[in-house]
Copies of this chain bind each other. A is one copy, B any other.
Amino acid sequence: MSEIVTAAMIVIGDEILSGRTIDRNIGHLAGMMTAIGIDLKEVRIVADEEADIVAAVNALRSRYTYVFTTGGIGPTHDDITADSIAAAFNVPCEFDEKAMTLLADNYEKRGMEFTDARKRMARMPAGATHIDNPVSTAPGFRIGNVHVMAGVPSVFQAMLDNVVPTLRTGAKLLSAMVPCPHGEGVIGGPLAEIQRRHGDTIIGSYPKFGDGKFWTELVVRARTQEALDAALAEVEAMVAELSARK
């Protein structure tokens, strides 16, 4: 059986905590991790405050295989992610020569001034390596097991696409969904029984409400097809039996 690879995500940004911006990156990272067989175990959304970012990075980077951050790597005064990551690793935050060249070339091509604010985007912790940004040039970076990426969804997604091939991935988690026209109160008992009999699966039950009634999405996950199929057959039989009873 293959190794379990785990991950945590840190979303950095007051704009998410104030409700002004709705996060669109958590769902994307979560789906991507599941698809490649990495268990996303925790997400934290923290404010643009160095102490909060440092605390989250240090709590999570020692606990999980990988940490992914989004946000706070732009050119404005409240973009403090690079400094905070450097502080977490106790290394200086410096202008990276390769990043300076990339950005200088880019702004020259576009006929724009390479302002001091823009130069901030070339700062990263000493020892960090680049994560390429094919959308808007300014690179993310990786230091240790921490991957620092942009908050703008299109840029984040492009950066993540460059990161994924570098990750050790675990056994892919297989999953199957069974729509169930019954609420959780009806299925709770028998479903717990099925979960008990199939300890090598994770069975989730997700209540939905729509068209004026409650229904349930039942999801079975397992690392092998055999384990998945065995539990799935019982879940489907349970739903069929409950429906026949009505």
Contact = CB atoms under 8 A, between A and B. Distances in A.
Interface string A3-29: 000000001001111111111001111
A74 B219 contact: no
A23 B26 contact: yes
A41 B44 CA distance: 11
SS of A interface (majority): mixed
A39 B40 CA distance: 27
Interface stretch (A84-92, A111-119, A125-133): A111-119
Interface string A65-86: 0000000001111110000000
A147 interface: no
Contact of A184 (B21, B32, B117): B117
A185 B18 contact: no
A74 B205 CA distance: 9
Interface string A181-224: 00111111101100110000011111111111010010101000
Contacts of A26: 16, 23, 45
A136 interface: yes
13 contacts: A15-B204, A18-B34, A18-B221, A19-B29, A43-B45, A75-B184, A77-B188, A77-B191, A78-B205, A116-B189, A117-B192, A118-B188, A185-B210
